Structure 1
Amino acid sequence: MDRRHDERQRSARLSARERVAYLRAQRRRRRQRILIVSGLVLAALLVIWGGSLIWNTVMAGMRLRDPRPTANAAVPAHTVFRQPFTVLLLGVDRRADGVEGVRSDTLMLAYVNPNERWVSLLSIPRDTVVMIRGLGEQKINAAYSYGYQHAADLYGVGTDADAAGAALVAEAVTTLLDLPVDYVAQVDFAGFERLINAIGGVVIDVPAPLLDSSFPTADYGYERIFIPAGLQVFDGATALRYARSRHGSSDFDRTRRQQLIVRAVFETVRSRRLLEQTAVWTALLEEVRRSVKTTLPIDDPTALRELLTLAQTIDPSRVASFSIHPREVAVVAEIGSDIYWNRRDLAALVARVKAGPQSIVEQAYVQVLNGTPVNGLAARVSRSLEQVGFRTLPPSNTDRRETTMLIDYTGNPAALARLAAHLGLPEQYVFATPPADAPPQPLGADIVLVLGRDYNPAWALSP
C-alpha cells in the first residue's frame, strides 16, 4: 500500500513525457515477470512430463502383461501390497544363438506378508513332475519353453513370448502347490551377472567348499570351478556359478545355494541403502530395465513406492527359506531324473511357507555324533531332542573328542540359537559355519551336535 502511494507521488512530480516513459517501463517489467513465471511453470511441467515419459518408458520395457485368464484383476494402487501375495522368481537360460531354446533353470516362489513384514522363499526342483497344460505330465522346467514357443496357441495372437512362458510356469506351480501365483519376475543369466555387479557384489558365507569339474559354459563346453568355504564377496560371474552348479552336489543343495544368493542380494540392497543413493539407483535401474521382466505393477508409481518401502523395511532375519526336498516331502516315484512328490506332504510344506519365519526352526535337521566312549549316548541325546521339538536324523559315531561342538552347515540361525540355548552351550562351542576341525557334513544334516567328553549327562535325559 505504501509502495503504491510512493509511486503515485513520484509519478505526480514527473512531466507528461516522463510519466509516459515511466508507465511504459512498469508495463515492460510486469510483462517480464509474467514471462519469467510462465517460463518457470512451463519448465516445471516439461520436467514432470519428461520424467514421467522416461519413467513410463523404462517401466513399460520391464512390465509384462499377464495373459492368464485367472490373473489379478485391476487392484487400486494404494491397496495392491496390503495383503499377502506371491511372486514367482524365474532364472531363465537364454542362449544368444538359440540352439537350445529358452528354458527356466531356477524356480523359486516368494510368499510375502506385508503386514507382518516377512517373506518365505520356496525352491522348486526343476525335475519335479507336474501337469502342464498342452504337455501333460512333464518336468516343471519344460513349462517355460513350451509356453514361450506356443504363446499364440495358449494365450492368443499377439501374446508376448516371455509373458506366455512365465504364465505357463505360474499355472504349473499353482497346480503343484494349490497356491495362487499372483506375480512373476524373471531374469536371464547375463542380466543376473550384471545386476550383482551393479550392486557391488554380494557377501556369502559359503558353508562347504564346492567343486564342479563339468560346469557348462555359454559356448556349450565345460569348465572346472572351485569355490572354497568361508566368508567372501562374490561378483556376478561367481554368484552365477555358485547358484547354477549341480554336478558338484545334489540338485537340492543347488536350490539352497540359490536361496543364499537371493537373501544376500536382499541384505546388500537393504544394508547399503542402495535405493537411497541416486548414482547407484540410476545404474541399477538401467540394469533392471535390461535384465528383468515382471508382471508386478511397477509402472504405477504408487504401487512401486509401496513395494520399495516394503523391501527396505523387511529385516533379513525375517526371510524364511524352504524347499521341496525328500526330507520334507515324500517321493512317490523317481523315474530316471523325474520326481513325483507326495501331495499331502506338499500341502503340509505350503502351510509352513504361509506360516513364515516362526516355522523355520522346525525345518532344520539335527544329527548327533558321538565322540565319547559312552555307547548309545548319541541315540539317547537324539531322542531327548525329538521330545522338545527338534527334527533329528539317525545318530552316528565320530572320532573321539574332548570338547562338544554345535555346528551349522547350511545356515539356520534361528534353529542354531534355539538348540544352543536348550543345551546351555557357551558361545565358543557354537559355530555358525564349520570350523577347520569340523567333521565332514553328514548327508542331509543341517546342524550337527558333536558330543565330546565334556558333554552334559542331562542332555540324554527325557524332559
Structure 2
Amino acid sequence: MMSFSVRRISDDSSRRRIAWKPLLGNVLFFARPLMQLYGAWRQQREADERAERRRHALRIAMTVAAALALAALLWMGTARAWMFLKTVGLRTALNIAATELPRDALGHTNLLLLGQGDSAGQDLTDTLMIASLDARGSSAVLLSLPRDLHFLERKGLPDGKVNNSYRDYKVRRRREGLEPDAASLQALRDSAQEIGSALQLDIHGVVKVDFEGFVQAVDAIGGVDVAVPEDIVDTQFPTADYGYETFAINAGPQHLDGATALKYARTRHTSSDFDRSARQQQILKAMAARVREQGLLGKARTVAALQSIVAEHVETTLDLGMILALGKMAAESEGGDVHAMQINDRNGLYEGVVEPGGFLYTPPRELFGGQSVLLPVSIPEFPVTWKQLQMLKRLFIDMRTPYAWNADIAILNAGAKSGVARTLGNEFVRYGFPVGRIANASMPDQETSFIAAGGDSALDAAKFFGAFLDLPVQDMPAGLPAEERGAVTIVLGEDYAYTPFQNLSLPQ
C-alpha cells in the first residue's frame, strides 16, 4: 500500500493574509455618510414626484368644475350664453354671475356626491363621496363612503345602510305631502344632514347623477382612455332585465365608450366595493383629462350636449350662482394638493391587513336580519361610536396640511413594551399617513421617547406629530443608521404608553 504524507509548503503565510476587519471598518466609515446623502436625495426626489402628481390631480378636478360651470351658463339659453362667453370671456362671465360659496369656519366648501343606478335600483345610491374644497381652490379632499356603511340611528327612520338613506327619506317626504321633485331635493338634504352629523361636518350641497347620464357624458366627449391593471372576466354582470351577462376586458391601454366605461366602473370581478370605487375614480379622472386635452370646453356642440345631459340626469341642491362660483374657483386655481381616501374594513385587527381608511368591521349577519353591513370600529368596542371617523375628519378634512407634508414615518422601539411600535404604526396607516418602517431600534434602550426630523423640510411635520403625541422633538441620533431613519423618526422609549388617536388633542 502506497503511503502519503502532508507537509507545509511555506511557513510564510503572513504575505497572503488580508486584514479584512480593519479594511471593512474603513470602507463602512467612509461609505456611511455617502449612503445617508443618497437616502436623503432619494427621499427628496420621491417627495417632488408625489407633489407633482397631486398638482396634476387638482388640475383635473378643476377642469371638471369649469365644465360644470360652462354647462350652467348655457342654462341661460345656448346661443345667447355662447355669444356672451365669446364677448366677455369665461373668467369675466364667472365673475359677473357667480355668488359667494358657503363655507365652514375653516373656509372649506363641503359637497356630497352621489351616484345612482337606473329605475331598477329603486333610488339606491351606488356611489357616495364627500368633496371638500378650500376657499382658494388650492387643495381638495375626497372621502369615499362604502354603501354598506350602517347607521344605527337615523332621524325619523329606522336604522339602515347609507345607500338607502336617499330612498328612505324621499319616501318619508312624499308621505308628508311633498311633491315628487320637492321630496327628492329634500331627501338629498336629509342624506347630507345624516352623514354630516355623524362625521361632525357641515355639508353645503349635494350633487346626484344617474348611470344613464354617466354613459351619455362619456359618449358626448368621445369616450375615455384608461389603463386597465388586470384582465377582467365577470360572468355575472347584471343586466337591465334582471339577468346576467359576461363582461370581459383585457389588461392594458383601452379606449372605452360610455356603456363599457360604466361596466368597468361597476363590475365586481375584483374583491370588493372598495376596488370599484378606485375604478370609478379612474374613469372620472380619464373624463377630465379627455375634456382638457381635446379642448372640449371650447366646442359649443360638446358643451351643449353636456348641458342637456346635466339637465336630464343630474339633480343638485346647488343653485346656479353656487355652480358658477365653483367654476370661478376652477378658473382662478393655479394648482395644489388633492388627497383621496376610501373608508373600508381593512382595519388591521386580529393581525389582518391594515390600509388607509380602515375604520370599519363586519358584524355577524344574524344581528341585521341576514344583511352584510359595515359598522365603525369603536374604542371601547361598545357602544358603537363614530369617534375614530370624527378624528379622521378633523385631521384629513379640517386640517389637511399634515397630509400635504407627506412625510415618511419610521417608528422604532427602543425600550417600550413589545408590539407597541406595530400598534402605533397601524394607527398612523389607518389615518392615511405613510409609514415606511416599524422595527426595533439598533440603538440602546431610551428612558424617554422622542421624535426627530430627517432634515429641515420635515421639521414642521416632526413638530406637529410631536405636539399630537405629546413627545419632545430633538436632533436625530448621530449613531442611528440611515436605513432606520424616516423623514420623521419616532423613537419609543421605556416611558411610552400607547393612546388611540381618537383620545388625543389636535395641536392648535
**Which bracket does the TM-score occupy, shorter chain normalised?**
0.5 to 0.7
| 3-state secondary structure, aligned to 2:156 | coil
Match of 1:92 in 2: 116
Structure 1 residues 189 and 80: CA distance shift in structure 2, 3 A: same
Distance in 1 (alpha carbons) for counterparts of 2:113 and 2:314: 10
Matched positions, count: 315
Match of 1:295 in 2: 317
Q: Which amino acid aligns with 2:358?
A: V
- Which residue among 371, 383, 390 is the counterpart of 2:434? 390
Distance in 2 (alpha carbons) for counterparts of 1:363 and 1:290: 45
Give 1:274 deviation, angstroms: 2.3
Given the alignment of the two structures, is residue 341 of structure 1 paired with residue 376 of structure 2, yes or no?
yes
* 1:131-163 deviations in Å (ceiling 9; x for gaps): 332323211111111122222346856762431
Distance in 2 (alpha carbons) for counterparts of 1:77 and 1:106: 28
Give 1:296 deviation, angstroms: 1.5
Structure 1 residues 277 and 316: CA distance shift in structure 2, 3 A: farther
Given the alignment of the two structures, is residue 310 of structure 1 paired with residue 329 of structure 2, yes or no?
yes
User: Gaps spanning 5+ residues in structure 1: where?
Assistant: 1-50, 59-75, 367-378, 396-421, 423-457
Distance in 2 (alpha carbons) for counterparts of 1:87 and 1:356: 16
Q: Is the 8 A contact 2:141 2:338 kept in 1?
A: yes
Distance in 1 (alpha carbons) for counterparts of 2:334 and 2:285: 11
Given the alignment of the two structures, is residue 167 of structure 1 paired with residue 189 of structure 2, yes or no?
yes
Q: Which amino acid aligns with 1:223?
A: E
* 1:205-234 deviations in Å (ceiling 9; x for gaps): 333343322111111111222233333322
Q: Is the 8 A contact 2:130 2:142 kept in 1?
A: yes
Distance in 2 (alpha carbons) for counterparts of 1:334 and 1:340: 7
Match of 1:319 in 2: 338
Q: Which amino acid aligns with 1:349?
A: L
Given the alignment of the two structures, is residue 128 of structure 1 paired with residue 130 of structure 2, yes or no?
no
Q: Is the 8 A contact 2:113 2:131 kept in 1?
A: yes
* 1:217-264 deviations in Å (ceiling 9; x for gaps): 111111222233333322211221122122432111112222222233
- Which residue among 341, 344, 359 is the counterpart of 2:403? 359
| 3-state secondary structure, aligned to 1:160 | helix
| 3-state secondary structure, aligned to 1:220 | coil
User: Gaps spanning 5+ residues in structure 2: where?
Assistant: 1-73, 82-96, 346-354, 366-371, 378-385, 411-421, 440-457, 459-480, 487-508
| TM-score normalised by structure 1 residue count | 0.58
Given the alignment of the two structures, is residue 194 of structure 1 paired with residue 216 of structure 2, yes or no?
yes
Structure 1 residues 249 and 204: CA distance shift in structure 2, 3 A: same
Q: Determine which structure has the larger strand proportion and give its number.
A: 1
Give 1:356 deviation, angstroms: 4.4
Structure 1 residues 56 and 349: CA distance shift in structure 2, 3 A: farther
- Which residue among 307, 314, 319 is the counterpart of 1:285? 307
Distance in 1 (alpha carbons) for counterparts of 2:291 and 2:335: 11
- Which residue among 342, 358, 366 is the counterpart of 1:329? 358
Q: Is the 8 A contact 2:150 2:375 kept in 1?
A: yes
Given the alignment of the two structures, is residue 54 of structure 1 paired with residue 98 of structure 2, yes or no?
no
Match of 2:253 in 1: 231
Q: Is the 8 A contact 2:337 2:404 kept in 1?
A: no
| Within-5 A mapping of 1:60-79 | 77-79=98-100
Q: Which amino acid aligns with 1:106?
A: T
Q: Is the 8 A contact 1:259 1:321 kept in 2?
A: no
Distance in 2 (alpha carbons) for counterparts of 1:335 and 1:364: 37
Q: Which amino acid aligns with 2:388?
A: D
Distance in 1 (alpha carbons) for counterparts of 2:312 and 2:326: 20
Q: Is the 8 A contact 1:185 1:292 kept in 2?
A: yes
Q: Which amino acid aligns with 1:92?
A: Q
Structure 1 residues 158 and 114: CA distance shift in structure 2, 3 A: same
After superposition, the CA RMSD in angstroms is 4.0
Give 1:52 deviation, angstroms: 7.8
| Percentage of identical aligned residues | 30
Over 6 Å off, 4+ runs: 55-58, 363-366
Distance in 2 (alpha carbons) for counterparts of 1:317 and 1:237: 33
Distance in 1 (alpha carbons) for counterparts of 2:228 and 2:438: 26
Structure 1 residues 55 and 278: CA distance shift in structure 2, 3 A: closer
Give 1:189 deviation, angstroms: 0.6
* 1:409-456 deviations in Å (ceiling 9; x for gaps): xxxxxxxxxxxxx9xxxxxxxxxxxxxxxxxxxxxxxxxxxxxxxxxx
Structure 1 residues 249 and 190: CA distance shift in structure 2, 3 A: same
Structure 1 residues 170 and 54: CA distance shift in structure 2, 3 A: same
Distance in 2 (alpha carbons) for counterparts of 1:363 and 1:206: 30
Structure 1 residues 209 and 187: CA distance shift in structure 2, 3 A: same
Distance in 2 (alpha carbons) for counterparts of 1:157 and 1:92: 20
Structure 1 residues 56 and 272: CA distance shift in structure 2, 3 A: closer
Distance in 2 (alpha carbons) for counterparts of 1:318 and 1:118: 5
Q: Is the 8 A contact 2:297 2:303 kept in 1?
A: yes
Give 1:188 deviation, angstroms: 0.8
Q: Is the 8 A contact 2:173 2:186 kept in 1?
A: yes
Q: Which amino acid aligns with 2:251?
A: A
Distance in 1 (alpha carbons) for counterparts of 2:201 and 2:306: 32
Q: Is the 8 A contact 1:113 1:119 kept in 2?
A: yes
Give 1:190 deviation, angstroms: 0.8
Structure 1 residues 185 and 278: CA distance shift in structure 2, 3 A: same
Distance in 2 (alpha carbons) for counterparts of 1:353 and 1:365: 21
Q: Is the 8 A contact 1:132 1:168 kept in 2?
A: no
Match of 1:272 in 2: 294
| TM-score normalised by structure 2 residue count | 0.54
Distance in 1 (alpha carbons) for counterparts of 2:244 and 2:280: 21
